[in-house]
Amino acid sequence: MIGYVEIHIEQGPVLEAENLPVGVVTAINGATRWALTVKGEPGHAGTVPMAMRHDALTAAAEMALAIEKIGQTHESVVATVGRFQAYPGAVNVIPGEVRFSLDTRSPDDSVREKVTAAIEKECKAIAAQRHVTLHIESLSSAKATPMAQSFITGLSDAIGRRQISPRLLPSGAGHDAMAMAELCPAGMMFVRCKGGISHSPLESMTEDDCDTALDVLLDFVRHYQK
């Protein structure tokens, strides 16, 4: 097998924002996932003075904002709190426990690990300052998958021959190319999708962009030299 090349909608807004029909994937992001549990002290919302509270929700909220801030310090990193649950969940009770998730991704494993370590350090500091406890459970960790440089170059050249500026970008989502890269050289090309929406009835791409992608792929195959 010479290699594997995959075409997929971008599942993101970059190509649309830059008015480009296609782009070349440089790497599929590595990802770290955590489950975090913050424990404070539940109490009556009307009787516990503000200065005497150990509110798990406000502590967790500060951690979530810290995660956002740290994630913004590196252009290649994304950090997401996707689940946030407060207990006992009553309108008149100070939350005694909060469970939330963390998903960090980057095409550079060393950068992802550096950011994840910084997030852990800051969340622990917030817990200590607010007199709550923090438990971190590692759920999964996957390494980044670089695409073959010869495929990146070949696809970029084919795009350039269509008088389109070759846009290089990482894939934030996982794809079949991750598995295929363990067997042979792998490459990917993204196609612009409306609003960056995927896995939804609203997911769409134009026929013109599809034609462009197929034209680029055919050109790449014709010019490819092993």
Answer yes or no: are the C-beta atoms of 107 and 71 closer than 8 Å.
no
CATH superfamily of 4-29+145-223: Zn peptidases (3.40.630.10)
Q: What is the pTM of this model?
A: 0.86
- Cα 189 to Cα 78, 149, 204: the distances in Å are 21, 13, 16
Q: What pLDDT shows up at residue 80?
A: 97
Neighbours of 155 (CB within 10 A): 27
Domain extents in the chain:
4-29+145-223, 30-142
Q: What pLDDT shows up at residue 226?
A: 67
| CATH code 3.30.70.360 for 30-142 | yes
Q: How far apart are the C-alpha atoms of 100 and 57, rounded to whole Å?
A: 10
Q: What pLDDT shows up at residue 64?
A: 98
Q: Which residues of the chain have pLDDT under 70?
A: 226
User: Which percentage of the chain shows pLDDT scores above 70?
Assistant: 100
Q: What pLDDT shows up at residue 8?
A: 95
Q: What pLDDT shows up at residue 193?
A: 92
Tokens matching residue 68: 């956002």
